[in-house]
Chains A and B, each alone.
Chain A
Amino acid sequence: MSMSMTATPDTIELELLGFLKNKTKAQWTADRDLFADGGLSSLFAMELVVHLEQRFGITIAGSDLQLKNFRTVTSMVELVVKLQRGIGA
Chain B
Amino acid sequence: MREQAELLTDLVGDRAGEWDRSGLLPVELLRKLGADGLLCAEVPVEHGGQGWTSLDNGAFTAHAGSLCSSLRSVMTSQGMAAWTVQRLGDAEQRDHYLRRLTSGALAAVGFSEPQAGSDLAAMTTSIRVEGDSVLVDGRKVWVTAAYYADLLVVFGRYGDGGAAVVVPADAPDVRVERIADPMGCRAAGHATIVLDSVRLPAANVLGAGAAIPFLVSSSLAYGRKSVAWGCVGILRACLDAAARHATTRHQFGRPLAEHQLVAGHLADLVAAEQVATRLCEHASRCWDSGSPDVVIATLLAKHESAQRAAAGASAAVQVLASAGARDGHAVSRAYRDAKLMEIIEGSNEMCRLLLAEHAVRVAGGWGVR
Q: Could you list which residues of chain A lie within 8 angstroms of chain B, going by C-beta atoms?
A: 2, 23-27, 37-39, 41-51, 53-54, 61-67
Contacts and interface: CB of A to CB of B under 8 A. Distances in A.
A65 B364 contact: no
B88 to A, nearest CB: 3
B361 A65 contact: no
Nearest to B214: A65
Contacts of B214: 42, 45-46, 49, 65-67
Contact of A25 (B209, B221, B357, B364): B364
B367 A26 contact: yes
Specify the main secondary structure of chain A where it touches its partner: helix
B26 interface: no
A26 B207 contact: no
A47 B361 CA distance: 13
A26 B365 CA distance: 8
Interface of B: 87-90, 161, 163-164, 206-211, 213-218, 221, 290-296, 299, 354, 357-358, 361-364, 366-369
Contacts of A54: 290-292
Given A42-B216, A61-B88, 13 more contacts: A24-B367, A25-B363, A39-B369, A42-B214, A45-B211, A46-B218, A63-B90, A65-B214, A65-B215, A66-B161, A66-B209, A66-B210, A67-B214
B140 to A, nearest CB: 19
B362 A25 contact: yes
Contact of B217 (A2, A25, A46, A53): A46
Nearest to B357: A41
Given A43-B299, A47-B295, A50-B295, A63 B207 contact: yes
Contacts of B215: 62, 65
Contacts of A53: 290
A39 B366 contact: yes
B357 A43 contact: yes
Given A41-B357, A62-B210, A49 B218 contact: yes
Contacts of A66: 161, 209-211, 214
B102 to A, nearest CB: 20
A66 B161 CA distance: 8
A42 to B, nearest CB: 3
Contact of A45 (B208, B213, B363): B213
Nearest to B354: A43
A50 B213 contact: no
Contacts of A2: 290
A80 B217 CA distance: 21
B295 A24 contact: no
B180 to A, nearest CB: 34
A79 to B, nearest CB: 13
A45 B210 CA distance: 13
Contacts of B216: 42
A39 B363 CA distance: 14
A65 B367 CA distance: 24
Given A43-B295, A51-B292, A24 B361 contact: yes
Contacts of B213: 42, 45
Contacts of A43: 217, 295-296, 299, 354, 357-358
